[in-house]
Structure 1
Amino acid sequence: MNAPHPPKVAGIDPTVPTPAHTVAPAPPATEAGPAPDAPAGDPLPVTVPDAPGSLLQDRLAGWVSDLTTLHELTERMCATSDLHTALEELLRAGAALVGARRGLVVLEPGDGLGPRATLGLGLGRADLGHLETVPREALLTGSADLLAEPGLDPRHREVATRLGYAAGHALPLTADGTRLGTAVWLYDEPAAPDEHHRQLAARYLGQAAGHIALLLEVEHTRAGAAALTEELLPSRLPRIPGVQLAVRHRTGPRGGSDFYDALPLPDAALGLSVGSVTGGGPGAVGAMGRLRASLRAYAVMEGEDPVAVLSDLELLLRLTEPARSATALFAYCEPAARRITLAGAGHSPPLLTGERRTEFVETSLSAPLGMLACWEAPGVEFRVEPGETLLLYTDGLLHRTGETTDRAFARLRAAAAGVPRALRGDPGAVADHVLRTLLPEDGGAGEDDVVLLAVRFD
């Protein structure tokens, strides 16, 4: 007759031996027989184990093991620096604690500020799509046997059967009394974690939720700074006969302090500018907005003289923002004549690319605005050929490559020269090709903003 199997508990294998760090239980009390040489009539020696002490040591070892596990998992969570990675770590750690293979976390902050997200562990995109069709209140509840539950939502039963899970264990994600979302782990067969592992998972989620709440605040701040930056930049580029314009702007995590502009000027001219204000955060974003607005005013008054525009801007910055400096480049374009006059203040030179040439525009070295008592730099005048594209960019494009300055310039020139002929008629396609070639898929190293303004002349 076979011995009965112990009941199945999720996350626990009954055949696993006692951990090495746990004190082995003392042997049962036995009465030893008389020693061979013991004189008759002597009392028999009795061995009595210290049962209460062994039990206490066993419990202490278990507590130490639990605390060590929670400490290691919490440290791994605190090492995450973005919300997506933190949620992935939450799912992995929770799955290990409750003995599950798959799971998902639904982030729905109770304050309604977002962001809202659904992330899966061991679930593909199509699986998550099926789960999205299940009512939230039905999906985010745990049961040891979902398929046998009489009140289970019919759609949940259908999706559970299709995805092959039969049980779930759900835990709320709450920080300081504020609901952030829910995590649920899925089992392939009816099972549930025991009370001990449920408590461990709940304690871990309590610690992890605090870190996730901090990352949510960071996301809110970044989103606010990005929205403010976008509001301070042109909502659309103007349409000017003889030129086509396109811009690509990537805001860094500290908030955008790089700017660009394209401004129609009298006599069918066009003013182009790019620049960057030192620092980051809301203060730098506000300074960027003020600087760009001032540059537009000076461009309208004396745009045909870029040196005068930047001189006025430098004086204003020195008087109103004495603790800041900025780099800037302003170009006065005459599309009909395909003639450009520009001046730069500590800014990288533009890149001119076309069928016959790809070269940097020779500009003189100059200091950034606000660095010297009086800024001076000569202007540069040049002409472009029909079909050529002028690329104006901020230094973040070079910094994000992670290369030295010389190598970054060389890579930028090679990326522009390698634009396929079929794409050269579209400045947006030219800009996209340069970004794809120059920067890795994750956006590149560093936290700098990136601005790339492409101007194609017909």
Structure 2
Amino acid sequence: MNAPHPPKVAGIDSTVPAPAHTVASVATGTSPAAPAHPRNAPGALLQDRLAGWVSDLTTLHELTERLTRTRALDEALREMLRAGAALVGARRGLVALEPADGLGPDHMIGLGLAHADLGHFETVPRSSLPYGRILDGLPGADDGIAEPDLLAEKGLDPRHREVAARLGYAASYTLPLVPKTSEPPEASETPMPSETSRLPYAPRAAGPGLRLGAAVWLYDEPAEPSERQRHLVGLYVRYAAEHLARLLELERTCASMATMSEELLPSRLPRIPGVQLAARHRTSAHGGGDWYDALPLPDAALGLAVGSVTGAGPSAVAAMGRLRASLRAYAVMEGEDPVAVLSDLELLLRLTEPARSATALFGYCEPALRKITLAGAGHSPPLLIGERRTEFVETSVSAPLGMLACWEAPSVEVYPEPGETVLLYTDGLLHRTGDPTDRAFARLHAAAAGVPQALRRDPGAIADHILRTVLPEGTTASKATDPTDPTAATDSAEDVVLLAARFE
């Protein structure tokens, strides 16, 4: 059973372990490695069948192990396409993700197909494509659809024929992506005598309402998968659909958390004479409590604030929203005294949420005087970026809000020069670097000092440059205040907030 596998068997790529015994060898009673022995035919037949089962299980095990290592939905879809192509002996394919519950996301991913190639499929009438019939829930499509010779079919849609000829494929095999459920039977249901040997929670095929999409594999020549290949790819795709369903739910949850967090933050920044504002917000996959604010105050003043609430998830996001709303109220009443604003905020946090702590930095900005009065509670110091200096503002060391019985810390005054930018940020910017604190601060300082001259007049461009320079590739999060920002990438465990104010 541990005999070496041939390099390619039944259309399975050599990179995937292939069964050493095929269905054909079982049917004839012979092994591909040795001649038949008539006197031992029953034993040889059984051994050949067992060896084939073991090899098939090994193949599926290794493929599903690769699939379970994927952590993102798109990554899992590409891995499923690659493994399915190896199982059915195809070279290219695509998956159309279109959950039947209508909640999305709806998109298409290709294997060996460029983005423009996928666009050609969208020009074909949906009902003439196998995956279109599956997505529409038409009868007869649940077991898969094979088109062994597309160009020979007389009833083929002319546009479908044209696309097949343009892309160079002559056959296809399509399967629905339908995860199984493991729900217990209803209490009123009585098992039939024939069902007594079944497990009480045996998986049952999910209905059309749970269909995730459809996978298509394309052949360069007329062909179709064998019965054994269909069986193997069917087992694999059913398992893959369950994994995809979990990742889909995770992606939806992360998107909802990011949307909720964004909705709790300012929809736009105020326009104040003498100062330009820009903000960048990166939400973590779990939904964090980092926030920022910029609000007009009486006497042509401006309140600038950043902060972070401990924890993650919906409770942290909700606490962030409450804390930001409270700070806005205190800033309107006594914003000229940042220490009083944070003292009131600390008292509110201690009385209403005693199990939670937070950091905050609030600045009372007077643009006409180019003056900022700052008070911080356990927060990182702002960074002053200019032509002749790039330095951290020296703020007093203080505890986070909610950590002491009574918070108190002196304020400091900052006087930016014309053309200088004051950068406020949360600790997530430092934590995402993966460096110790001192090295993370050094990296931030170097990035700020290295802002190109052409970008220094735009606070948004300064913030984008710092994000690209400070954070390792692939660690910026999924959503930005500016949707066109090129630094938005994969998720991370830390929120990041940057608030930049450039003085004219």
Specify if TM > 0.5.
Answer: yes
For residues 171-214 of structure 1, give each alpha carbon's deviation from its aligned partner in whole angstroms, at most 9, with x where no partner exists: 00011321100000001010111011011101111011011101
Q: Does 1:150 align with 2:140?
A: no
> 2:215: which partner in 1?
183
Letter in structure 2 aligned against 1:166: A
Match of 1:61, SS state, is helix
Q: Report if the CA contact (8 A) 1:257-1:280 is conserved.
A: yes
In 2, the alpha carbon distance for the partners of 1:327 and 1:175 equals 44
Displacement of 1:137 after TM fit?
3.4
The 5-angstrom pairing of residues 273-422 of structure 1 reads: 273-422=305-454
The percentage of aligned residue pairs carrying the same residue is 75
Match of 1:213, SS state, is helix
Displacement of 1:28 after TM fit?
5.5
In 2, the alpha carbon distance for the partners of 1:369 and 1:19 equals 66
Q: Does 1:159 align with 2:163?
A: yes
In 2, the alpha carbon distance for the partners of 1:88 and 1:256 equals 29
In 2, the alpha carbon distance for the partners of 1:454 and 1:117 equals 36
In 2, the alpha carbon distance for the partners of 1:77 and 1:262 equals 45
For residues 234-266 of structure 1, give each alpha carbon's deviation from its aligned partner in whole angstroms, at most 9, with x where no partner exists: 000001111110111111100131100001001
The 5-angstrom pairing of residues 102-141 of structure 1 reads: 102-139=92-129, 140=131
> 2:496: which partner in 1?
450
Match of 1:96, SS state, is helix
> 1:39: which partner in 2?
none
Counterparts in 2 of 1:446 and 1:405: CA distance versus 1, 3 Å: farther
For residues 346-366 of structure 1, give each alpha carbon's deviation from its aligned partner in whole angstroms, at most 9, with x where no partner exists: 111000101111100001111
Displacement of 1:153 after TM fit?
1.8
RMSD over aligned CA atoms reads 2.0
What are the ranges of 5 or more consecutive residues in structure 1 without an aligned counterpart? Answer: 1-8, 30-47
The 5-angstrom pairing of residues 32-71 of structure 1 reads: 49-71=39-61
In 2, the alpha carbon distance for the partners of 1:168 and 1:353 equals 59
Letter in structure 1 aligned against 2:174: A
Q: Report if the CA contact (8 A) 2:294-2:303 is conserved.
A: yes
> 1:72: which partner in 2?
62
Match of 2:94, SS state, is strand
> 1:44: which partner in 2?
none
In 1, the alpha carbon distance for the partners of 2:154 and 2:402 equals 73
Letter in structure 1 aligned against 2:20: P
In 1, the alpha carbon distance for the partners of 2:125 and 2:248 equals 25
What are the ranges of 5 or more consecutive residues in structure 2 without an aligned counterpart? Answer: 1-8, 132-144, 181-205, 477-490
> 2:197: which partner in 1?
none
Letter in structure 2 aligned against 1:452: L
In 1, the alpha carbon distance for the partners of 2:228 and 2:35 equals 26
Q: Report if the CA contact (8 A) 1:10-1:191 is conserved.
A: no
TM-score, normalised to structure 1, is: 0.90
TM-score, normalised to structure 2, is: 0.82
Displacement of 1:20 after TM fit?
8.1
Counterparts in 2 of 1:367 and 1:28: CA distance versus 1, 3 Å: closer
Match of 2:368, SS state, is coil
In 1, the alpha carbon distance for the partners of 2:70 and 2:12 equals 28
Match of 2:211, SS state, is strand
Displacement of 1:50 after TM fit?
1.8
Match of 2:248, SS state, is helix
Letter in structure 2 aligned against 1:200: L
Match of 2:312, SS state, is coil
Letter in structure 1 aligned against 2:423: L
> Which residue of the other structure, out of 172, 183, 207, is the alignment partner of 2:176?
172
Name the larger-Rg structure.
1
Q: Report if the CA contact (8 A) 1:332-1:340 is conserved.
A: yes
